[in-house]
């Protein structure tokens, strides 16, 4: 077969941050096939040095506006580990509800605003306003719920105010009394249950569109949190699932033995690898690892959508996100019930008992996120390290590209079809590039 392909997507649209896709094929031979990242570096790890522990999470929250709740929580957990703090049961539960709000919120945004246009054959959500007005309104309604849900716990969803080292600075809803705060939680529970009809409509839409999801499989390693209490999102150990089904558990304090960041000449971003050439993090990885821990209501939808672990089609990440969003709604309702049964208390944040070094993880919408800090005896930060989900996915995207381009050449797809497939693949990963803190330089051949 003799074929020439020249794909050069500069600043891919409908992803967070800046990425390029470059594929050059001459006479059927792949000369270049790259996922490139030219994002402006922002140096957060340098910026936290010399800052007090109480300020660090509010600084690193600003790494990403979409997963700022997750950055806040991973940061707080790392600081709490470093400062010898054990938070209360109530704090744990409130943070879980907040964490679930973020995953729901981000997944709704991604599935409806960034992915649905591909599946409906539109360049963005805006042309869908006249043709699919009810879908757009539902999307905005569901997104708004995510915001109100997170804001009830965190104060706001973009850079939350209330979660602080040791607990929460104020009660849910900003209430001045526990009674008032409980009323806010009750109101939130009603709102959560009211979203179910919209979730069912979304499920039907996904079932209709499932046929448009490209068929592509590449077995890889999946990495995500494994939590004894539930589907791993807020807490747990690092679970590393291989295609043969074997699951290795690693303590969060040893996260560097999993992430193994390394430099490659073909990319601006640092890559990560563990047991195989690359690994995947995010909703699909989590669902593969935690399928058995799904809330029964979410499990029903997963079955209905034909999801079976271990699923090795990265395009299914969006389906996994939706299943997870539903899980988050039901789990939040359960946690609210638990808190209301026990009764809220007005607790002060727990103070540090020692000063040292510690790491924390949270599984944020785009995958497992690590923060690590060291503090001096005055509580001032001496060192920070943040390893972002998207950075961990870059190598996996590249490996998918390599396999897919060969398959697409064999299928004799046109250049336009190939370009769209590659764009959809990257979008499927829901990359959060401005988030990615570790970049290196490469000169691009035009």
Partner 1 sequence: MAKLKCAWFDFACCEGCQVELTNYGEPFVQLLEHLEPVEFREVMSEKTTGPIDVAFIEGSFTREADRRRLEEIRARAKVVVAYGSCATSGGINALKNHMDDYAGEVYGADKDRPHLNSAKALPVSAAIKVDYEVRGCPMDRDELLRIVQQVVHGTAKVYVPSYPVCVECKRRETVCRYDDGEYCLGPIARAGCGAPCPADGIPCEACRGLAEQPNQEAMVKVLVDNGKLPQQRAENLSRMFTANFRGDA
- Per rule CB under 8 A, count of chain residues that contact partner 1: 69
Tell me the angle at which helices 53-60 and 68-82 cross, rounded to the nearest 10 degrees.
150
Strand partners, 294: none
Asked if residue 357 binds partner 1 (CB under 8 A), the reply is: no
Burial class of 199 by CB neighbour count within 10 A (0 to 12, 13 to 18, 19+): buried
**Closest to partner 1 by CB, 260 or 406:** 260
Asked if residue 441 binds partner 1 (CB under 8 A), the reply is: yes
In whole angstroms, the minimum distance from the beta carbon of 289 to partner 1 comes to 27
3-class DSSP assignment, residue 28: coil
Asked if residue 345 binds partner 1 (CB under 8 A), the reply is: no
Binding mask 169-188 for partner 1 (x = CB under 8 A): xx---x--------------
**Closest to partner 1 by CB, 163 or 236:** 163
**Closest to partner 1 by CB, 182 or 230:** 182
Stretch that binds partner 1, among 160-168, 238-246, 288-296, 361-369 (CB under 8 A): 160-168
- List helix spans (H) across 210-364: 256-259, 283-290, 296-304, 317-342
Helix (H) or strand (E) holding 400: helix 389-410
**Closest to partner 1 by CB, 28 or 41:** 41
Stretch that binds partner 1, among 166-174, 223-231, 391-399, 408-416 (CB under 8 A): 166-174
Q: Distance (Å, rounded) from C-alpha 271 to C-alpha 438?
A: 9
Helix (H) or strand (E) holding 77: helix 68-82
Instruction: Answer yes or no: are the C-beta atoms of 291 and 239 closer than 8 Å.
Output: no
Instruction: Answer yes or no: are the C-beta atoms of 196 and 326 closer than 8 Å.
Output: no
In whole angstroms, the minimum distance from the beta carbon of 277 to partner 1 comes to 22
Closest to 35 measured CA to CA, from 405, 398, 402: 398
Q: Which residue has the tokens 């079932």?
A: 207
Q: Distance (Å, rounded) from C-alpha 240 to C-alpha 282?
A: 13
In whole angstroms, the minimum distance from the beta carbon of 297 to partner 1 comes to 24
The half-sphere exposure of 96 on its side-chain side, counting CA atoms within 13 A, is: 27
Choice from 20, 24, 88, 161 touching partner 1 (CB under 8 A): 161
**Closest to partner 1 by CB, 25 or 171:** 171
Segment 37 to 66, residues that bind partner 1, using CB under 8 A: 38, 40-47, 49-52, 55, 58-59, 62-66
Buried/exposed 379-415: b ≥16 CB within 10 Å, e otherwise: bbbeebbbbbbbbbbbbbbbbbbeebbeebbeeebee
The half-sphere exposure of 354 on its side-chain side, counting CA atoms within 13 A, is: 7
Choice from 113, 299, 309, 313 touching partner 1 (CB under 8 A): 113
Q: Distance (Å, rounded) from C-alpha 72 to C-alpha 64?
A: 10
- List helix spans (H) across 245-295: 256-259, 283-290
Binding mask 115-144 for partner 1 (x = CB under 8 A): --x-----xxxx--x---x--xx--xx-xx
Stretch that binds partner 1, among 111-119, 287-295, 334-342, 360-368 (CB under 8 A): 111-119
Q: Distance (Å, rounded) from C-alpha 342 to C-alpha 226?
A: 26
In whole angstroms, the minimum distance from the beta carbon of 363 to partner 1 comes to 19
Binding mask 231-260 for partner 1 (x = CB under 8 A): ------------------------------
Asked if residue 75 binds partner 1 (CB under 8 A), the reply is: no
Asked if residue 158 binds partner 1 (CB under 8 A), the reply is: yes
In whole angstroms, the minimum distance from the beta carbon of 431 to partner 1 comes to 11
Contact positions toward partner 1, by CB under 8 A? 11, 13-17, 38, 40-47, 49-52, 55, 58-59, 62-66, 68, 109, 113-114, 117, 123-126, 129, 133, 136-137, 140-141, 143-144, 147, 155-159, 161-162, 164, 168-170, 174, 263, 268, 378, 380, 434-435, 437-442
């Amino acid at each position: 077969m003799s074929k020439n392909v020249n794909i050069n997507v500069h600043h891919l649209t409908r992803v967070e941050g800046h990425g390029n896709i470059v594929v050059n094929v001459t006479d059927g031979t792949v000369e270049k096939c790259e996922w490139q990242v030219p994002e402006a570096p922002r140096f957060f790890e340098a910026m936290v040095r010399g800052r007090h522990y109480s300020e660090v999470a509010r600084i690193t929250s600003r790494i990403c506006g979409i997963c700022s709740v997750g950055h806040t929580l991973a940061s707080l957990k790392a600081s709490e580990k470093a400062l010898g703090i054990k938070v209360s049961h109530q704090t744990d539960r409130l943070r879980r509800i907040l964490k679930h709000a973020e995953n729901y919120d981000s997944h709704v945004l991604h599935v409806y605003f960034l992915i649905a246009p591909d599946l409906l054959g539109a360049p963005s959500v805006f042309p869908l306003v006249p043709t699919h007005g009810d879908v757009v309104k539902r999307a905005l309604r569901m997104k708004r719920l995510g915001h109100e849900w997170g804001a009830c716990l965190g104060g706001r969803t973009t850079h939350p105010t209330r979660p602080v080292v040791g607990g929460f600075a104020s009660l849910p809803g900003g209430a001045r009394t526990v009674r008032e705060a409980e009323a806010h939680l009750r109101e939130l529970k009603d709102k959560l249950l009211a979203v179910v009809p919209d979730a069912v409509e979304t499920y039907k839409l996904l079932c209709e569109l499932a046929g448009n999801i490209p068929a592509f499989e590449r077995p890889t390693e999946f990495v995500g949190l494994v939590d004894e209490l539930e589907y791993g999102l807020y807490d747990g150990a690092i679970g590393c699932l291989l295609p043969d089904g074997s699951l290795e558990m690693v303590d969060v304090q040893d996260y560097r033995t999993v992430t193994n960041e390394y430099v490659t000449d073909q990319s601006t971003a640092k890559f990560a690898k563990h047991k195989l050439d690359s690994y995947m993090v995010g909703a699909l990885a989590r669902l593969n690892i935690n399928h058995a821990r799904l809330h029964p209501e979410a499990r029903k939808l997963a079955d209905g959508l034909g999801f079976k672990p271990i699923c090795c089609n990265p395009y299914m990440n969006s389906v996994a996100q939706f299943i997870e969003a539903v899980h988050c709604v039901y789990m939040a309702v359960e946690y609210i019930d638990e808190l209301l049964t026990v009764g809220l208390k007005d607790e002060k944040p727990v103070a540090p008992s020692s000063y040292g070094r510690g790491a924390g993880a949270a599984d944020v919408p785009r995958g497992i996120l690590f923060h690590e800090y060291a503090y001096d005896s005055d509580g001032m930060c001496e060192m920070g390290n943040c390893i972002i989900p998207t950075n961990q996915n870059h190598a996996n995207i590249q490996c998918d590209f390599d396999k897919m381009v060969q398959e697409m050449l064999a299928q004799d797809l046109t250049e336009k079809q190939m370009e769209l497939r590659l764009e959809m693949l990257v979008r499927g990963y829901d990359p959060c590039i401005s988030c990615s803190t570790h970049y290196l330089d490469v000169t691009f051949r035009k």
